[in-house]
Amino acid sequence: MKKYNTGNRINKVEFTDEILTGRGGLSLFVRYLEKVCIYDILDERFGRLRKSLKGIPAWNLFKQVFCFFFDGTSRYLVYFDHLKDDGGYSAAIGNDFDSMASSQFRKGSRHGNHPDTVLKMVEGLVKLIRKRYREDVEIIVRMDSGFFYEDNFKGFDDPGIGFIARGKIYEGVKEQVSGMDEVLWGEYDNGHQKWSYVEFGWRGGWKRFWRAFYTRPFY
């Protein structure tokens, strides 16, 4: 991969209603990733995880994950299986069919938490970001309910990583929020859906309380 040092820096990030037209924006985004030489950094840090020449290089996996989030069509990893067979998408990000990833990034017999895969992966990424970007950068991890475990939360909390996790609706949660006075509930409207929410402390059978929000949509 060609080394390239750009003189441009991102100094501000804001919300906007404007979008890049269709998938043409992905090609520009991939070109940007190449220009800032992030592939070299990722390959240097994670390339050794690839034990042989079989499979997809680590930097290419990262590229596809970045494009997945940038595209924003779906929030679910299984959507990678659809993209794998989409020739237009693979061409837009500069990949051929054989180098497209699927949702099975791990052995099918292992859960994503086995045994501490998530914590090790996040720890490595956090060290890389703070070393290459800025030591005091704010990092927030978003998780679905499959990673709703206190060990994960504690592992993120200790090094000062922010996190947002989608919880599991246990009966204890339902009982707790059902008894809350209506004056404690707030409202939020994102322009597409209106929600009511309430904040409370959740512990269950865990060792400490964690800040939690219960939400319900208005129809």
pTM over 0.85: no
* pLDDT over threshold 60, residue 4: no
pLDDT at 108: 46
Report yes or no on 5 lying in a domain. no
Residue 33: domain span: 24-99
Mean pLDDT across the chain: 80
Query: Both 130 and 206 in a single domain?
Result: yes
Query: Both 91 and 148 in a single domain?
Result: no
Query: Both 129 and 88 in a single domain?
Result: no
Query: Both 94 and 145 in a single domain?
Result: no
Query: Both 62 and 95 in a single domain?
Result: yes
Question: Which of 99, 131, 147 finishes a domain?
Answer: 99
Report yes or no on 74 lying in a domain. yes
Greater confidence (22 vs 42) lies with 42
* pLDDT over threshold 50, residue 122: yes
CA-to-CA distance for 98 and 82, rounded, in angstroms? 14
Query: Both 57 and 128 in a single domain?
Result: no
Query: Both 135 and 192 in a single domain?
Result: yes
pLDDT at 124: 85
DSSP alpha helix (H) spans, the chain = 24-35, 38-46, 58-71, 79-84, 87-92, 117-132, 150-157, 171-178
Report yes or no on 106 lying in a domain. no
Report yes or no on 179 lying in a domain. yes
Query: Both 84 and 140 in a single domain?
Result: no
Q: What is the largest CA-CA distance in the chain?
A: 61
* pLDDT over threshold 70, residue 16: no
Report yes or no on 11 lying in a domain. no
Greater confidence (18 vs 95) lies with 95
Report yes or no on 133 lying in a domain. yes
pLDDT at 18: 60
Question: Which of 99, 128, 161 finishes a domain?
Answer: 99
Task: Mention every residue, 6+ apart, whose C-beta is less than 8 A from residue 25.
Answer: 19, 70
* pLDDT over threshold 80, residue 181: yes
pLDDT at 200: 87
Total tally of structural domains belonging to the chain: 2
Question: Across residues 60-79, what is the average pLDDT?
Answer: 87
Report yes or no on 63 lying in a domain. yes
Question: Across residues 150-156, what is the average pLDDT?
Answer: 84
* pLDDT over threshold 50, residue 161: yes
Question: Which of 68, 99, 130 finishes a domain?
Answer: 99
Query: Both 125 and 176 in a single domain?
Result: yes
Question: Across residues 128-144, what is the average pLDDT?
Answer: 88
Query: Both 198 and 141 in a single domain?
Result: yes
Greater confidence (202 vs 128) lies with 128
CB atoms within 10 A of CB 174: 11
Question: Across residues 122-141, what is the average pLDDT?
Answer: 88
Phi, psi values for residue 137, rounded to 5°: -65, 140
Q: For residue 70, give the nearest of 32, 111, 104 by alpha carbon.
A: 32
Classify residue 23 as exposed, middle or buried by CB count within 10 Å of its CB (0-12, 13-18, 19+).
Answer: middle
* pLDDT over threshold 60, residue 54: yes
Q: Is 163 helix (H, G, I), strand (E, B) or coil?
A: strand
Query: Both 122 and 53 in a single domain?
Result: no
Rg (CA), the chain: 20
Question: Across residues 122-146, what is the average pLDDT?
Answer: 86
Classify residue 65 as exposed, middle or buried by CB count within 10 Å of its CB (0-12, 13-18, 19+).
Answer: middle
Report yes or no on 18 lying in a domain. no
Query: Both 130 and 76 in a single domain?
Result: no
* pLDDT over threshold 60, residue 3: no
pLDDT at 182: 86
pLDDT at 187: 92
